[in-house]
Amino acid sequence: MQHSMFRCAIGFVIGLAATTASAINVKVRGTYDPWLAGMPFGSHASIDDSAPNESPVLVPRLHFSRGGYVTFSGVTGDTSNTPQCCLSAEGGMMISHLSGAENGIGNAIAPLGTLMGVFLDDRRPDSFRAPGALDFSGAGALDFKRLSPRLKQVFFIGDGLAAGTLQRFYVPNGATRLFLGTMDGYEWNNNSGAFNLKVKVNYLSEQMANTSAVPEPETYALMLTGLAMTGFAATRRRQ
């Protein structure tokens, strides 16, 4: 019985400590072209865009693990596909990337000017085949609660909400980087405006998922508290 209670206490502690989150403030300009994500300086995309001038923003300090998901909140601002503003985060008419899949990054159909993202691993995206396109033009296609894009699939974010609830964007296996940009057909270089938002990653700590790993000091404190409570309960039961 004591061994069983010990396992329950450890499981409870791991359950508390396994999911963590960190919020990061990000600014996404209308000139950020997702099809330049992960490409080196001098690379080209979308007819007349080049890195780093039109490169999308890399969200800093993110640490992904299997089963994690990202949320986007507090999206403010607007953009335009011209020097005159503007379109809201939900964007305008549905369009496709004129060049289709490019630099190993898949095509997308999404609202003009809206907020977009793409997950990459550590490799150059053009070093292996592009995935299929994501199409958000169907009825209700923007109102999903959960989305699981593949590596190098450009996906719709918009205001990050569906019926007022934060949408969950599940991190594909192997992802190490997240880039954010906007949607256009070609030539991001004359776009205008920007979005400001918070990016939060919810992930399973690999240390906690691997029970053989050495716990962090805070984890020790939680474990000791749980074990003390378990021992006290067991003592009372014997008395």
Output the domain CATH number for residue 90. 2.60.120.430
Angstrom distance (rounded) from CA 223 to CA 87: 51
Q: Would 72 be classed as within a structural domain?
A: yes
Q: Would 100 be classed as within a structural domain?
A: yes
Reported as a single tens digit per residue, the pLDDT across 149-206 is 999 999 999 999 999 999 999 999 999 999 999 999 999 999 999 999 999 998 765 4
What does the block give as tokens for 181?
């940009």
Q: Would 234 be classed as within a structural domain?
A: no
Total structural domains in the chain? 1
pLDDT at position 169: 97
Using H for helix, E for strand and C for coil, what is the string for 135-160? ECCCCCCCCCCEECCCCCCCEECCCC
What does the block give as tokens for 182?
């906007």
> Rg of the Cα trace of the chain?
22
Q: The domain containing residue 157 runs over which residues? A: 20-206
Neighbours of 138 (CB within 10 A): 9
pLDDT at position 239: 43
Amino acid at the residue 168: R
Low-confidence ranges of the chain (pLDDT < 70): 1-21, 88, 204-239
Q: Would 68 be classed as within a structural domain?
A: yes
Amino acid at the residue 25: N
Q: Would 44 be classed as within a structural domain?
A: yes
Neighbours of 91 (CB within 10 A): 26
pLDDT at position 84: 77
pLDDT at position 61: 86
State the DSSP H helix or E strand holding residue 14, giving kind and residue range, or none if neither: helix 2-17
Give the pairing of strands 146-147 and 168-170: parallel
Q: Would 188 be classed as within a structural domain?
A: yes
Q: Would you give the end-to-end CA distance of the chain in angstroms? A: 16
Find out whether 184 and 112 touch, Cβ atoms under 8 Å: yes
Q: Would 49 be classed as within a structural domain?
A: yes
Strands across the sheet with 177-182, in order? 57-58, 177-182, 115-120, 155-156
Q: Would 220 be classed as within a structural domain?
A: no
Find out whether 214 and 206 touch, Cβ atoms under 8 Å: no
Q: Is the pTM of this model over 0.85?
A: no
